[in-house]
Structure 1
Amino acid sequence: MAQVASHAAAPARVVLNLPMDPLPAELAAMFGDRFDAVAELWYDDEGTAQVSLARLAADPELGAAAARAIDRGASHAWLAEVVPQIPPPTQCLRFVVAGQMADGMTLAEAQEYWRLEHPRVFRTVTDFVPYIVGYTQMHGRDVLESGAIDWLGAHDFYPMCAEMGLRSVADVVTAYSMPSYLAVIRPDEEYFSKPGEMLSFASGEARTWPATG
């Protein structure tokens, strides 16, 4: 990722979310253990992203470096619009999830409900809310040019991706086992998405270029 960050066509920001090592058994049981990292390439707008990604994809040296470092057949990549809900603190345990919309919903319907209505439902569960110190939605945009991110991984369109921030492993286990979460928030998630089929990744550390803080 440092090579991407220093490229002439670099994104505005590059973030590499590192795995927890070792991954606590509680989190492995809840979210699985399929991925080694989550990389984020941040752009100010879609047009800038398209131009930059095309230039990065055309660089043979970068492509060769990516091929050495990334198992592209077991990786997923897509473009999304960031929709902040709860700004996360600088330091927290983060887990990233990505999934599909519920059957019977259009992309626009699912994303609008998720953006506007789900946060309202979430905030009604007052014993659960304090555990969540960060919440960022990423709404998938299926507009990438062919081959633009093949050097990173398979272009699998995920309309819904989210990053959740919590203070500790214990808080994750407690929060997502609470009767109020299971009775109110989980059914609402199942209304517009397929949480049982999500990709997921837990991280306790991130490296950012340009460096911050």
Structure 2
Amino acid sequence: MKDLGRLKYFLGIEVLRSKQGIFMCQKKYILDLRTEIGMLDCKPADTPMIENQKLYMEEKTELADKERYQRMVGKLIYLSHTRPDIAYAIGVISQFMHQPQSAHMDVVLRIIRYLKGMSGHGVLFIPNGHLETQVYTDADWVGDKGSRRSTSSYFTLVGGNLVTWRSKKQTVVALSSAEAELRGIARG
């Protein structure tokens, strides 16, 4: 074993230390991703997804390149380790890995355009002097038009710092918005 000093860059994650705390981001990873797919000079988007956009499998529609879609979504999933702002959008597009359609690919490209304008964002860990745990949850009722299942999301703060976040489709169909919320609370 060899001591290489303080961690600065590891597996695409940049670690910056200051008096305020530790900041983790993937700015170079985003730049490399945009370069790889030819979107270096793309126009930035304001949000990762269009507000209230519902994606589902449409009949008789154009299919996207499956291998390219899977490769791009896989890279975005890895990117979500330091980017909770794209967690929901990644959860939505990863549901269509088996048969992506052109509308799904459009959302992937929009997320990448969003990342261009927000490439310096990440997660900041600040020493707050306490280890109080807080969990926030939310759920949408019948968010998926195809399966009529809801999506639960949660994030956890320890000592005021974000440590976990997730967005996932529920396993059963909720019969009310209250049931969808309770299932979201249970998952959180």
TM-score range, shorter chain: under 0.3
TM-score by length of 2: 0.23
**Structure in which a larger fraction of residues adopt strand:** 1
TM-score by length of 1: 0.21
Larger Rg: 2
